[in-house]
Amino acid sequence: MIEVAHVTKRYGSTVAVRDLTFTVPPGIVTGFLGPNGAGKSTTMRLILGLDAPDSGTARVAGKLYRDHPAPLHECGALLEARSVHPGRSAYNHLLALAQTHGIGRARVDELIDMVGLAKVARKKAGTFSLGMGQRLGIASALLADPNVVMFDEPVNGLDPEGILWVRHLLRRLASEGRTVFVSSHLMSEMAQTAEHLIVIGRGQLLADMSVDEFVRNASKQSVRVRSPQAARLKELIASPDVTVQAHHQSVLEVVGLSSEQIGEIAAENEVVLHELTPQQASLEEAFMELTREEVEFHADAQALAGEPQEAVT
Amino acid sequence: MSALAAGATPVRRVTQRRVARSEWTKLRSVPSTRWALLITLLLIIGIGILVCVVFESRWPHLSAAERHRFNALDRSIAGVNFAQLAIGVLGVLVITAEYSTGSIRSTFAAVPKRLPVLWAKALVFGVVAFVVTLPALLIVFFVGQAILSGQHINISISHPGVVRALFGAALFLTVMGLFGLGLGAIVRSTAGGIAVLAGLVFVLPPIISLLPSSISNSVDPYLPSNAGGAVWTIHPDPNTLAPWTGFAVFCAYAAVALAVAAVLLVRRDT
């Protein structure tokens, strides 16, 4: 269980996180979603006590992280990008972390095998690809068999096989009753693994809900109507609560009425319909809709309309 | 998978002793440690032997004044003057490399109370520095004296103050390394830490010597390298602190640096 309560963090004049409150429960995968620069990494650093909040508290299993006598056993974290000395071998990196908690070499070997780094464990971590670095980070997170795992952008730099492996790993960790908190800037990735979502933008909480609920709430449900009498139908359904966009002479995009309501109005007024389709917004659209105002740096409109680009951070 | 089964790993708390073991693993597992220690050894042994060889061969041609100034112990361990920078730089690196590589995040995630990390680094690095430099000093002393005996200008290990000076030189280099560690932890950048260390050890003394002698004579003995230098010489010039007094002053510099580092380490964001 992770409990973040009214946490605010400033760096100089920049507010990285503003009055953030949420709880991450055990037993499920909770996605931590937000555009780049939204404050996800900062929040994770605050939870681990690497940075101190200006106000508020972040607790892991009921205590501040630093107050746990065996902190790695409580919470294992994959931190942003590189947190490894490039001149040290993966094995020695893990061994040094293990020794702080009296964990033996056998466990280090076990983890190296588990993340698939056995062949390169004695090589300098500086020679690792981004994907291998992520695997090493995951091994260090799981070293002390923690009750809470926190992964910052774990699939960054992984190949498709690695991405699949991480998804299975996250689900398995959650099914074992652990608290699993995973950040991503890609909604599509979260939809594959997370059951619950915490969405932030510019350091503020935007949503704290299940993935299903998120899609229902954040997307505007619209109905696509095709009719040879589109102009007449538009007049019939007009009301202050309803917005109608005419994409084409005969095609309307209606927000504010269900397909049933539109069908009934059309029937009563003998308007011919060629198509009546409820439009479900995609997850990515729902996410972008929610964070539209909150994206720190807008790319050009074209890039926003398409798939968000995998950012190299 | 059994690797992940809850409870597979027994819970053991973080202790100072465990953090020290971890820091030993970290120190011995990066190439920069080996290089810096090797350079320290080469400076101690190489320079000492070179100086002794030159004096032995030039002895018949030296003036009486120069012969009078000659000190067989000081000459044989003259390399300490240069080794102090190498060991100090390694001390800086022990902590700043963690910041420059980002590994400090892993370190502090494992030991979030942080102070045990600083004490462990100081302990492990201090022991390593002493254990490496003392044999080097003994080697260069005996080899150097063997060379100088060609002109019968060598000094015996039983001569008053020689053993103290040899141990003192090893202690001096050890504390110089710890001074570097403290400065590095304060500055958190390799370049900055080395600059501050080199400034205090090599740049400050000549600046002080520019001042009127009434001021420089009273300040000079208390400068870090001069105070610490008192413990590894047997014929000090009159304007020098007593050996262990000087060493205590030098230790105070390192202690202050480490204390300031400790306060900042706990307070600052990583």
Percent pLDDT > 70 in chain A is: 90
* Res A220: pLDDT: 64
Q: Among A64, A80, A72, A84, which Cα is nearest to A32's? A: A80
- Round the average pLDDT of chain A to a whole number and report it: 87
Percent pLDDT > 90 in chain B is: 87
Optimal mutation site among A88, A100, A147, interface B, most CBs of chain B within 10 A = A100
> Which chain A residue's Cα is nearest to B113?
A66
Average pLDDT over residues A226-252: 86
pTM (2 decimals)?
0.86
CB-nearest partner of A96 from B26, B105, B109: B26
* Res A255: pLDDT: 84
Quote the minimal CA–CA distance from B266 to chain A in Å.
Answer: 10
Tell if the CB–CB gap between B6 and A86 is shorter than 8 Å.
no
Percent pLDDT > 70 in chain B is: 97
Residues paired with residue A276 on neighbouring β-strands, in sequence order: A225
The length of chain A is 313
Q: Is residue B4 over pLDDT 60?
A: no
Distance of CA A16 to the CA centre of its chain: 17
On chain A, the residues whose CB falls within 8 A of the CB of B31 are: 87
Q: Other C-beta atoms within 10 Å of B243: how many?
A: 19
CB-nearest partner of B102 from A82, A144, A176: A82
CB-nearest partner of B105 from A79, A86, A103: A79
Q: Which H or E element spans position A7? A: strand A2-11
- Measured between alpha carbons, how far is B16 from B102 in angstroms, rounded to an integer? 22
At CA A75, angle to CA B7 and CA B115, rounded to 5? 115
CB-nearest partner of B30 from A77, A88, A177: A88
The pair of structure tokens assigned to A230 is 């589109």
Tell if the CB–CB gap between A173 and B113 is shorter than 8 Å.
no
DSSP three-state, residue A91: helix
Say if residue B217 is exposed, middle or buried (CB neighbours under 10 Å; 0-12, 13-18, 19+): middle
Q: Is residue A1 over pLDDT 70?
A: yes
- Measured between alpha carbons, how far is A78 from A150 in angstroms, rounded to an integer? 6
> Which chain B residue's Cα is nearest to A104?
B9
Average pLDDT over residues B259-267: 97
Q: Is residue B73 over pLDDT 50?
A: yes
Q: Among B22, B108, B115, B10, which Cα is nearest to A73's? A: B10
On chain A, the residues whose CB falls within 8 A of the CB of B30 are: 85, 87-88
Q: Is residue B6 over pLDDT 70?
A: no
Could you read off the pLDDT of A127-185 as tens digits, one per residue? 999 889 999 999 999 999 999 999 999 988 889 999 999 999 999 999 999 999 999 98
DSSP A185: S
Could you read off the pLDDT of B112-143 as tens digits, one per residue? 999 999 999 999 999 999 999 999 999 999 99
Could you read off the pLDDT of A39-58 as tens digits, one per residue? 999 999 999 999 999 999 99
> Which chain A residue's Cα is nearest to B19?
A100
Quote the minimal CA–CA distance from A171 to chain B in Å.
Answer: 13
Q: Is residue A95 over pLDDT 90?
A: yes
Q: What is the DSSP string of A129-179?
A: -HHHHHHHHHHHHHTT--SEEEEESTTTT--HHHHHHHHHHHHHHHHTT-E
On chain B, the residues whose CB falls within 8 A of the CB of A178 are: 6
On chain A, the residues whose CB falls within 8 A of the CB of B94 are: none
DSSP three-state, residue A109: helix
Distances B261 to A51, B111, B114, B117, B223 between C-alpha atoms, Å: 17, 16, 11, 12, 20
- B4 vs A: CB within 8 A: yes
Q: Other C-beta atoms within 10 Å of A313: how many?
A: 13
Could you read off the pLDDT of A182-232 as tens digits, one per residue? 999 888 888 889 999 999 998 999 889 998 887 776 556 788 899 999 888
Quote the minimal CA–CA distance from A206 to chain B in Å.
Answer: 26
Pairing of strands A148-152, A179-184: parallel
Q: In sequence order, which residues have a C-beta less than 8 Å from that of residue B82 and are 6 or more positions away?
A: B43, B47
- B100 vs A: CB within 8 A: no
On chain B, the residues whose CB falls within 8 A of the CB of A95 are: 25
- A109 vs B: CB within 8 A: no
Q: In sequence order, which residues have a C-beta less than 8 Å from that of residue A245 and are 6 or more positions away?
A: A252, A253
Tell if the CB–CB gap between A99 and B18 is shorter than 8 Å.
yes
- Which positions 25-84 of B are in contact with A (Cβ < 8 Å)? 25-26, 29-32
Could you read off the pLDDT of A54-72 as tens digits, one per residue? 999 999 999 999 999 999 9
Q: Is residue B7 over pLDDT 80?
A: no
Would you put residue B188 in left (φ > 0), alpha (ψ -120 to 50) or beta? left
Q: What is the DSSP string of A28-89?
A: SEEEEE--TTSSHHHHHHHHHTSS--SEEEEEETTEEGGG-SSHHHHEEEE-SS--S-TTSB
* Res B75: pLDDT: 94
**Residue A303's pLDDT band (cuts 50, 70, 90):** very low
The pair of structure tokens assigned to A65 is 């992280």
Edge to edge, what strands does the sheet with A243-248 contain?
Answer: A243-248, A251-255, A222-226, A275-279
Tell if the CB–CB gap between B106 and A79 is shorter than 8 Å.
yes
* Res A11: pLDDT: 92
* Res A287: pLDDT: 77
Q: Among A146, A193, A219, which Cα is nearest to A33's? A: A193
* Res B91: pLDDT: 97
Could you read off the pLDDT of B165-199 as tens digits, one per residue? 999 999 999 999 999 999 999 999 999 999 999 99
> Which chain B residue's Cα is nearest to A93?
B26
> Which chain A residue's Cα is nearest to B267?
A52
Q: Is residue B107 over pLDDT 90?
A: yes
Average pLDDT over residues B204-224: 91
On chain B, the residues whose CB falls within 8 A of the CB of A145 are: 4-9
- Measured between alpha carbons, how far is B93 from B32 in angstroms, rounded to an integer? 8
Q: Is residue B245 over pLDDT 90?
A: yes
Could you read off the pLDDT of A249-263 as tens digits, one per residue? 888 888 888 888 899
On chain A, the residues whose CB falls within 8 A of the CB of B4 are: 114, 142, 145, 172-173, 176
Per-residue 3-state assignment (H helix, E strand, C coil) for chain B: CHHHCCCCCCCCCCCHHHHHHHHHHHHHCCHHHHHHHHHHHHHHHHHHHHHHHHHHHHHHHCCHHHHHHCCHHHHHCCCHHHHHHHHHHHHHHHHHHHHHHCHHHHHHHHCCCCHHHHHHHHHHHHHHHHHHHHHHHHHHHHHHHHHHHHHCCCCCCCCCCHHHHHHHHHHHHHHHHHHHHHHHHHHCCHHHHHHHHHHHHHHHHHHHHCCCHHHHHHHHHHCHHHHHHHHHCCCCCCCCCCHHHHHHHHHHHHHHHHHHHHHHHHHCCC
Average pLDDT over residues B202-213: 90
- B1 vs A: CB within 8 A: yes
Find out if CATH 3.40.50.300 is the number for domain A2-217.
Answer: yes
Could you read off the pLDDT of B75-86 as tens digits, one per residue? 999 999 999 999
Quote the minimal CA–CA distance from A256 to chain B in Å.
Answer: 49
* Res B96: pLDDT: 97
Find out if CATH 3.60.21 is the number for domain A220-279.
Answer: no
- B115 vs A: CB within 8 A: no
Q: Among A185, A181, A207, A176, which Cα is nearest to A194's? A: A181
Q: In sequence order, which residues have a C-beta less than 8 Å from that of residue A25 and are 6 or more positions away?
A: A1, A179, A196
- Each domain of chain A, given as residue ranges in start order, spans 2-217, 220-279
- A86 vs B: CB within 8 A: yes
Amino acid at A264: E
Amino acid at A201: G
